[in-house]
Structure 1
Amino acid sequence: MTRGEALKDFFRKTILPVASAALLYCIFRSACVKNGELDYLWLWILCGLPFGIWRLRLWIIPGGGSLGGGIALFLLNFVFAGLIGGCVLVWRLLVAAWYVPLTLYRLLTAGCACIITED
């Protein structure tokens, strides 16, 4: 693996997920403050919504003719998508933490490979 590929992989797997998580936190933090306390469950759901909305494979479709029940199930779909997306977001942040030492190792071994091949 070359240095350019290692840095590109580092940017894609580390910098982008951490930056998107920080941006989502800054956007939704003020919406989740109630009585001066931060509601972490709603913060989890709102920050995970962009990651989970397209991963939700099964949408609950209301049967019957009640408009109130249909709206409630529609919002329940978004809550489930936020919960799934919160798990995906945590996984991406764990992968980002793993890629920091992995990129350092790749950069060091790519530098050593260049030194060995030059002789």
Structure 2
Amino acid sequence: MKTMLIKGERTPLFDKDLLQVINVSESESEIDDSDNLIRIGVQNEDGKIYRIIGANDVLEFTHIIKDLHANHWPVENRDPDSRRSLHSVVLPPEEIQMKALGIDPEDPGSAA
């Protein structure tokens, strides 16, 4: 597995939690276009892809997705149209999405 941050995109505070879930201690500096990886994008609270996770094969991809689901990370599957397309996109956990919208996760009826 490889992972890298997208230059110019804001890295959210939950990134360290994500890395812990997928069992990665630090980020690779670059995923090369020639790398034959199954790519997973990760969105920040602004809806922008800020990190790419590259799985080496279908088994590793499945393991990553299962770990994310087990830890309540929403994942949207995609239909990639090229080798470099994203196969899935990981969204921030619901609690983080609610906070970004100004909603208290403990009181969903409240909105800022």
Q: Same fold (TM over 0.5)?
A: no
TM-score (normalizing by structure 2): 0.29
Bigger CA radius of gyration? 1
TM-score, scaled relative to structure 1: 0.28
Q: Which has the higher strand share?
A: 2
Structure 1 or 2: more helix by fraction: 1
Which structure exhibits the higher relative contact order, with contacts defined as CA atoms closer than 8 Å and separated by 6 or more residues? 1
